[in-house]
Amino acid sequence: MANSPVAEALSTAPAAPPPLRRNWNFQVLWIGATSMTLGVEAVDVAYPLLVLAISGSPGLAGLFAFVQAAANVLLGLPIGKLVDRLDHRRTLLFAEGFRAAATGSVALALALGGVTMVHLMVVAAVLGTGAAIGGPVRMLLVRSVVPKEQLTQALTQDEVREGTAALAGPAIGGVLYGITRTLPFVVGAATFVFSLLCALVIRLPPKGAQAGATGVAAGAVGAGDEPEADESAATEGSEGAEDAAEGEEAGAGGMFAGVLELWRQPALRGALTLIATFYLVVTAVTLVVVVSLREDQHASAGTVGLALTGGAVGMLAGSLLVKWLHAALQPGRLLVAVSAVAAVCVALLALPWGPWWVFVVLLLAHLTLPALRVLIDIMILRQVPEDRRGRTIVATMTVLSVGPPLGTLASGLLMQFASVDWAILVLAVVQGAVTLYGVRDPQIARAAWPE
């Protein structure tokens, strides 16, 4: 008896991918990334403490952070071109090994009593370079092992990692440094090694393939996957001319192809403008608030630190809202809403209601940020062609990494010429102006979620 067309369609339709919690490739990669991020947050506290201990110079502590950020920014675009060409797993293994060796060298130098400022500055450059390589490659690996229909869920889980590490990492680093100067660097090096091992054991689909409703998503890659690759070959062949044209265009753009890709896509361009401004303004206002709490309200250092954890708590709580916000709002409206919330929250920080108020406002300001970060990641991973995806991710990270140092500079200049209240209001106006730009840009308003 012949099968009906419906039965045949059902028999040939691809099975739904297994739940993300059973995607062992992604979960192992995520566990390694969580370990690494926690270690980075911990040693980021230990490095300035160590520089101050051996030099007594706050300026040199700032120089360490500057060298690390400069290496990340200056090498980002050239590295992006390599990321699109090299094997992603091997590149991540190199980046993690590079950072593990640098961090371990500090622990060894401390144990031998020979750490120097020159050594630490070299380590800062290595860490910045490793971050510029590891960040985009890890995102590309996530795209390789997660089906596109589960990307939002996977990237939301990644936001939980960021929020948890930002909340717990600094406290862990301070405690470890208090036990002995060497310990945070030993632990930091160990987290890089663990991340490296996690990247080593995951099983990836063949290059050019994507995780789907097959064993690839759950971690099994084998001969059973070949027919699916063969079936997709015809479709890929029909798009060959278009892909070739895109490849020539990407080659013409060189290491700037990612920047050009961001400029060509209005939603991405708008999202990047809003989130970069958010980082700049929030970094600036945080420094202003610290000065206000310490000098005007006479809060203790511990109380100030507790107040500033509001941002990390907001990020962690906000990761639970990503799915709901993405379902309720189109990208353009979400961009404007996040920016508007940030502008209002920054203005509210001008109210001198003490550390608890700062905690609450920072929590609210960061509550919608995970939804915006996931939005950018999704639009890059789903819309940007694979041959320039790495450069686009690097360009995005480079732009975002410029915001915090510019924010620190802006806050310092503002407080030289204005009171704390006026400095906060100026920053709120800047965020409000960017929000107005988003409201008035018709291309941002028409932005839709990618298929």
**How far is it between the farthest Cα atoms of the chain?**
87
Contacts of 153 (CB under 8 A, 6+ apart): 20, 323
Check pLDDT > 50 for residue 57.
Answer: yes
Contacts of 70 (CB under 8 A, 6+ apart): 128
Of 6 and 25, the one with more pLDDT: 25
Check pLDDT > 80 for residue 258.
Answer: no
Contacts of 378 (CB under 8 A, 6+ apart): 151, 152, 155, 449, 450
* pLDDT tens string 156-177: 898 888 888 888 888 888 889 8
Establish whether domains 20-208 and 256-445 are of one fold: yes
CB atoms within 10 A of CB 297: 15
**pLDDT recorded at residue 234:** 40
- Tokens 């895109």, residue located: 246
- Tokens 């995970």, residue located: 370
User: Do 83 and 397 meet the contact criterion of CB atoms below 8 Å apart?
Assistant: no
**pLDDT recorded at residue 55:** 86
Q: pLDDT tier at 103 (50, 70, 90 boundaries)?
A: very high
**pLDDT recorded at residue 247:** 47
Give me 23's structure tokens. 């995607």
Contacts of 44 (CB under 8 A, 6+ apart): 169, 170, 173
**pLDDT recorded at residue 236:** 39
Architecture of the 20-208 domain: Up-down Bundle (1.20)
430: left (phi > 0), else alpha (psi -120 to 50), else beta?
Answer: alpha
The helix/strand/coil state of 299 is coil
Check pLDDT > 60 for residue 3.
Answer: no
CA atoms within 13 A on the CB side of 415: 18
Check pLDDT > 60 for residue 411.
Answer: yes
The pLDDT of 84-109, averaged and rounded, is 92
Check pLDDT > 70 for residue 13.
Answer: no
Contacts of 350 (CB under 8 A, 6+ apart): 420, 421, 424, 425, 428
Q: pLDDT tier at 276 (50, 70, 90 boundaries)?
A: confident
Check pLDDT > 50 for residue 10.
Answer: no
**pLDDT recorded at residue 298:** 82
* pLDDT tens string 76-85: 777 777 777 8
The type of residue at 340 is: A
**pLDDT recorded at residue 232:** 40
Check pLDDT > 70 for residue 295.
Answer: yes
C-alpha 82/C-alpha 156 separation (Å) is 27
C-alpha 433/C-alpha 38 separation (Å) is 35
CB atoms within 10 A of CB 52: 13
User: Do 267 and 275 meet the contact criterion of CB atoms below 8 Å apart?
Assistant: no
The type of residue at 137 is: V
Of 394 and 4, the one with more pLDDT: 394
Of 445 and 251, the one with more pLDDT: 445
Q: What is the distance, to the nearest Å, from the Cα of residue 127 to the centroid of all Cα atoms in its chain?
A: 16
**pLDDT recorded at residue 231:** 39
**pLDDT recorded at residue 227:** 38
**pLDDT recorded at residue 164:** 86
The pLDDT of 375-396, averaged and rounded, is 80
Q: Measuring CA to CA, which residue among 449, 404, 434 is closest to residue 339?
A: 434
Mean pLDDT (the chain) is 81
Q: pLDDT tier at 381 (50, 70, 90 boundaries)?
A: confident
Percentage of the residues of the chain whose pLDDT score is greater than 90: 27
What Rg value do the Cα atoms of the chain yield, rounded?
A: 23
Sign of the CA dihedral with 436 first, then 442, 444, and 447 last:
positive
The pLDDT of 324-339, averaged and rounded, is 89
Q: pLDDT tier at 4 (50, 70, 90 boundaries)?
A: low
**pLDDT recorded at residue 38:** 92
C-alpha 405/C-alpha 150 separation (Å) is 34
The pLDDT of 197-201, averaged and rounded, is 93
Give the CATH fold of the 256-445 domain: Growth Hormone; Chain: A; (1.20.1250)
Query: Which of 39-43, 57-61, 322-326 has the lowest average pLDDT?
Result: 57-61
C-alpha 34/C-alpha 26 separation (Å) is 12
DSSP track, 53-122: HHH--HHHHHHHHHHHHHHHHHHHHHHHHHHTTS-HHHHHHHHHHHHHHHHHHHHHHHHHT---HHHHHH
C-alpha 405/C-alpha 46 separation (Å) is 19
Check pLDDT > 50 for residue 429.
Answer: yes
Check pLDDT > 60 for residue 294.
Answer: yes
**pLDDT recorded at residue 67:** 87
User: Do 213 and 16 meet the contact criterion of CB atoms below 8 Å apart?
Assistant: yes
Q: pLDDT tier at 186 (50, 70, 90 boundaries)?
A: very high
Check pLDDT > 60 for residue 91.
Answer: yes
Beta strands in 228-365 (DSSP E): none
* pLDDT tens string 115-132: 999 999 999 999 999 998
Q: What are phi and psi of 51, to 5 degrees?
A: -60, -45
Question: What is the residue extent of each domain of the chain?
Answer: 20-208, 256-445
